[in-house]
Chains A and B, each alone.
Chain A
Amino acid sequence: MTDLYEAQRAMRNMRKAALQRGVIAILDVGTSKIACLVLRFDGERFMGGDGVGALAGQSSFRVIGAATTRSRGVRFGEIESMPETERAIRTAVQAAQKMAQTRVDHVIACFSGGNPRSYGIAGQVDVEYETVSEQDVARVLAASDVPDYGTHREVLHAQPVNFQLDHRSGLKDPRGQIGQTLAVDMHMLTVDTATIQNLLYCIKRCDLEVAGLASGAYVSGISALVEDEQELGAACVDLGGGATDVSIFMKKHMIYADSVRMGGEHVTSDIAMGLQIPFATAERIKTFYGGLVATGMDDREMIEVGGESGDWEKDRRTVSRAELIGIIRPRVEEILEGVRECLDAAGFEHMPSQQIVLTGGGSQIPGLDTLAPKILGQNVRIGRPLRVQGLPQAATGAAFASAVGLCLFAANPQDEWWDFEIPAERYPARSLKRAMRWFKDNW
């Protein structure tokens, strides 16, 4: 626990150093693609113009380099073959560097695999003096009862969601307020240690320093949900290549995250198996002709499957689009059922607002907006990520929701547990702060 605490703190320092230097890279390691964006923080505020707003103060950066490459060696959002993934990361980083014409040393990465699991934890402590001090906040965070999440798992996010002072709940910042008892609700997200370590190792092999790690569910939520959705409560579903991330936001905090280990790649493999065609062809047919709602027209639209087998009969096959939809739809339904289960497990039906936002590459299937409401409920929309300054047109699609979210995360990270002060009791015995505290208590 403290280990990770230290590691996260080190990452935050690294992020600060990167911002000082002004250039930081964003790495979205997905199952189907790896995206790398290079951000430049020059401090100048971009104000409006060209239909782009000031982005609520988050426009202090601009994207100066962007590159995507086909992901290799990743399954279900987890790294399966490290040399392959390392190569893919290298490709993406080098291309982005070339576009940015600068070298990046710091990278903030996100991934969606690793079985994310959410915990809501609470802590309570008596306020030491009259008013709540930073130390009180630190103590209440330290006093929260961390569940036993297993030895092979690590905490990826631990965000204080709500502070409560005596009977007043919903405080964003309790410092300086007068009260007796301070309580905190925290949302903690854990993932498999091995997943993180594999990713860190791959990034390290590329001579890059990790300046932050984030969950894919979280970052796609902060980019695809608009502000009032985050405030009132909404779920973001990122239909990715190998995993579908679900995150629930409330009062601008993520309160739940989970992932369904199914995604677009499964649809592709279904097509490949069902039509007996290579994987690449299946992917092409899916993106060109894929759909979810078959009409009479689709029976007559024949798709040339093609092939390289050399067998004329085999290479001249055609399928109707209705057949293709018949293959795609059950799998997408299955994915959405999985999402439904996640939402049910999280108690989404008790939320005041039932908004669901679908994003990610999978959300571009035509007909998803008619299929999804049948499974997920009426308030479903297809979300695209926020526009950030300098992002190339090719990278503004729904598939880049988590990359864009990671940009916002890099610019304005939410306060996490490790951003608060360390409670004085936990300082080493010879610390100056501890001595100061002793003086304060005794004089």
Chain B
Amino acid sequence: MRPVDPIDFAKGPTAGGSARVSEAVARAIRARRGDDSVPQRPRDPAPSRTAYRMNRLWLTPSFRFFLRRIAPLAAVAACVGLWFASEEHRTAFTDQIVLMKSEIQNRPEFMVKLMAIDGASEALAEDIREIVAMDFPISSFDLDLPGMLEQVEDLDAVASAGLHVRAGGILQIDITERTPAVIWRSDAGLEMLDAEGHRVAALPHRGDRPDLPLIAGEGAEREVVEALAILKAAGPLLPRMRGLVRVGERRWNVVLDRDQVIMLPEEKPLGALAQVVALDQAKDLLGRDVAIVDMRRPTRPTVRLTEAAQDELKRLRGVELGVSYR
């Protein structure tokens, strides 16, 4: 309970009697009680010097901008900075981030469960599965699709590949295979090349792919296009053809069975070959006992006969001349 203030009993001016006297009496009693709380003086409406200065400072636009925009930012930055200053807070923070990341990545929506390979032969598919080896299910965030694509495209038998994660968590690999066009016999063995001269696969035996033509010689693999053109031009000779030999990395020899060889020139080999084919069809040139048809100078085709044919020729000439060499 509040102590009784004698001033409460002082008579007001309207109650009759002198208010001033009762007020003085009350003040005296209060002083005797040692309660010296002076009655409030009328408030000074003027701001104190400090209040006035603070008010002016607050009205300064730059200060206001600083306090309202920059200071909160700075305070937040300072708090964050102080928190991050400690090593264990930093690691806790990064751990938390990693945890959250893996939690999201391992959600079933993002999991890849199997791999589908389209457009590849059985053997190639096996190869692809071998190099793109991974244990499903795996999160699609962990898949390195560009890297895998590069790996797959590095395979010789693959012309181009497409890699994407299909709906349903399937890693789809679309393959366009290289088709072997020729067999190239080199020091290392037999290899199949496609029409552009790119290696497709090794071949253990020539007999495995009798349908493919054979090319040989140093630098042959770089001129597969030309070789294919020659093969195409050699149409009627194909059944007899054993292969093409690159000579001196500049020109082709067409090797037929019975060890017959057509030496083609460096330039315009197709024309020369056509000439030979025409000769053959007209005069059955290659059906005769000819070892080499030398077309290195297309203007001056030369024919080398076999030993037996030479002897026969000499004999016939001797008969003509009446001379016998035997």
Contact across chains for B13 and A97 when beta carbons are under 8 A apart: no
Instruction: Give per-residue flags for A84-125: 1 if the beta carbon is below 8 A from chain B beta carbons, else 0.
Output: 000110110110011001110000000000000000000000
Considering the chains assembled together, what is the distance between the CA atoms of A94 and B48 in angstroms? 11
Q: Which of A192-200, A228-236, A307-315, A407-415 is the contact stretch? A: A307-315
Considering the chains assembled together, what is the distance between the CA atoms of A223 and B154 in angstroms? 95
Q: For residue A312, which residues in chain B have a CB less than 8 angstroms away from its CB?
A: 16
Contact across chains for A103 and B59 when beta carbons are under 8 A apart: yes
Contact of B46 among A88, A103, A310 (CB under 8 A): A88
Contact across chains for A310 and B18 when beta carbons are under 8 A apart: yes
Chain A residue, CB-CB nearest to B55: A94
Considering the chains assembled together, what is the distance between the CA atoms of A118 and B114 in angstroms? 108
Chain A residue, CB-CB nearest to B45: A91
Contact across chains for B47 and A311 when beta carbons are under 8 A apart: no
CB distance from B58 to the nearest CB of A (A): 8
Contact across chains for B59 and A310 when beta carbons are under 8 A apart: no
Instruction: Give per-residue flags for B58-72: 1 if the beta carbon is below 8 A from chain A beta carbons, else 0.
Output: 011100000000000
Identify which of A69, A97, A205 gathers the most chain B CB atoms within 10 Å of its CB. Answer: A97
| B52 sits at the interface (CB 8 A) | yes
| A206 sits at the interface (CB 8 A) | yes
Contact across chains for B20 and A310 when beta carbons are under 8 A apart: yes
Contact of A90 among B20, B47, B61 (CB under 8 A): B47
| A207 sits at the interface (CB 8 A) | yes
Interface residues of B in 31-64 (CB under 8 A from A): 44-47, 49, 52-53, 55-56, 59-61
| B274 sits at the interface (CB 8 A) | no
Identify which of B20, B44, B52, B55 gathers the most chain A CB atoms within 10 Å of its CB. Answer: B52
Q: For residue A88, which residues in chain B have a CB less than 8 angstroms away from its CB?
A: 46
| B7 sits at the interface (CB 8 A) | no
Q: List 29 A-B contacts (CB under 8 A).
A: A69-B45, A87-B44, A87-B46, A90-B46, A90-B47, A90-B49, A91-B45, A93-B52, A94-B47, A94-B52, A94-B55, A94-B56, A98-B55, A102-B59, A102-B61, A103-B59, A103-B60, A103-B61, A205-B49, A207-B53, A207-B56, A308-B13, A309-B20, A310-B13, A310-B19, A310-B20, A311-B18, A312-B16, A315-B13
Q: For residue A69, which residues in chain B have a CB less than 8 angstroms away from its CB?
A: 45
Chain B residue, CB-CB nearest to A92: B46
Chain A residue, CB-CB nearest to B19: A310
CB distance from B29 to the nearest CB of A (A): 19
Q: For residue A90, which residues in chain B have a CB less than 8 angstroms away from its CB?
A: 46-47, 49, 52
Interface residues of B (CB under 8 A from A): 13, 16, 18-20, 44-47, 49, 52-53, 55-56, 59-61
Q: For residue A103, which residues in chain B have a CB less than 8 angstroms away from its CB?
A: 56, 59-61
Q: For residue A87, which residues in chain B have a CB less than 8 angstroms away from its CB?
A: 44, 46
Instruction: Give per-residue flags for A298-319: 1 if the beta carbon is below 8 A from chain B beta carbons, else 0.
Output: 0000000000111110010000
Contacts A90-B46, A91-B45, A91-B47; A97 near B19 (Cβ below 8 A):
no
Q: For residue A206, which residues in chain B have a CB less than 8 angstroms away from its CB?
A: 52
Contacts A102-B59, A103-B59, A206-B52; A91 near B46 (Cβ below 8 A):
yes
CB distance from B11 to the nearest CB of A (A): 9
CB distance from B185 to the nearest CB of A (A): 95
Interface residues of A (CB under 8 A from B): 69, 87-88, 90-91, 93-94, 97-98, 101-103, 205-207, 308-312, 315
Considering the chains assembled together, what is the distance between the CA atoms of A279 and B300 in angstroms? 144
Q: A87-B46, A90-B52 are in contact. List 15 more A-B contacts (CB 8 A).
A: A69-B45, A87-B44, A88-B46, A90-B46, A91-B45, A91-B46, A91-B47, A94-B55, A101-B59, A103-B59, A206-B52, A207-B52, A207-B56, A309-B20, A310-B19
Considering the chains assembled together, what is the distance between the CA atoms of A103 and B54 in angstroms? 11
Contact across chains for B56 and A97 when beta carbons are under 8 A apart: yes
CB distance from B167 to the nearest CB of A (A): 61
Chain B residue, CB-CB nearest to A206: B52
CB distance from A209 to the nearest CB of B (A): 13
Q: For residue B55, which residues in chain A have a CB less than 8 angstroms away from its CB?
A: 94, 97-98
Chain B residue, CB-CB nearest to A310: B19
Identify which of B16, B59, B60 gathers the most chain A CB atoms within 10 Å of its CB. Answer: B59
CB distance from B3 to the nearest CB of A (A): 26
Q: For residue A308, which residues in chain B have a CB less than 8 angstroms away from its CB?
A: 13
CB distance from A208 to the nearest CB of B (A): 9
The 8 nearest A-B residue pairs measured at CB:
A87-B46, A103-B59, A310-B19, A310-B13, A91-B46, A90-B52, A103-B60, A310-B20
CB distance from A83 to the nearest CB of B (A): 10
Considering the chains assembled together, what is the distance between the CA atoms of A103 and B61 in angstroms? 8
Identify which of A90, A91, A93 gathers the most chain B CB atoms within 10 Å of its CB. Answer: A90
CB distance from A70 to the nearest CB of B (A): 8
Identify which of B13, B45, B46, B53 gathers the most chain A CB atoms within 10 Å of its CB. Answer: B46
Considering the chains assembled together, what is the distance between the CA atoms of A206 and B51 in angstroms? 11
Considering the chains assembled together, what is the distance between the CA atoms of A359 and B56 in angstroms? 34
Considering the chains assembled together, what is the distance between the CA atoms of A94 and B49 in angstroms? 11
CB distance from B16 to the nearest CB of A (A): 8
Considering the chains assembled together, what is the distance between the CA atoms of A88 and B53 in angstroms? 15
CB distance from B78 to the nearest CB of A (A): 28
Q: For residue B61, which residues in chain A have a CB less than 8 angstroms away from its CB?
A: 102-103
Q: For residue B52, which residues in chain A have a CB less than 8 angstroms away from its CB?
A: 90, 93-94, 206-207
Q: For residue A102, which residues in chain B have a CB less than 8 angstroms away from its CB?
A: 59, 61
Considering the chains assembled together, what is the distance between the CA atoms of A315 and B16 in angstroms? 12
Q: For residue A94, which residues in chain B have a CB less than 8 angstroms away from its CB?
A: 47, 52, 55-56
Contact across chains for B18 and A97 when beta carbons are under 8 A apart: no
Considering the chains assembled together, what is the distance between the CA atoms of A101 and B55 in angstroms? 11
Q: For residue A91, which residues in chain B have a CB less than 8 angstroms away from its CB?
A: 45-47
Considering the chains assembled together, what is the distance between the CA atoms of A206 and B50 in angstroms? 11
Considering the chains assembled together, what is the distance between the CA atoms of A290 and B279 in angstroms? 146
Chain A residue, CB-CB nearest to B18: A310
CB distance from B140 to the nearest CB of A (A): 58
Chain A residue, CB-CB nearest to B23: A310
Considering the chains assembled together, what is the distance between the CA atoms of A265 and B170 in angstroms? 99
Considering the chains assembled together, what is the distance between the CA atoms of A88 and B20 in angstroms? 31
Q: For residue A311, which residues in chain B have a CB less than 8 angstroms away from its CB?
A: 18
Considering the chains assembled together, what is the distance between the CA atoms of A103 and B53 in angstroms? 11
CB distance from A194 to the nearest CB of B (A): 24
Chain B residue, CB-CB nearest to A88: B46
CB distance from B93 to the nearest CB of A (A): 43
Chain A residue, CB-CB nearest to B51: A94
Q: For residue B20, which residues in chain A have a CB less than 8 angstroms away from its CB?
A: 309-310
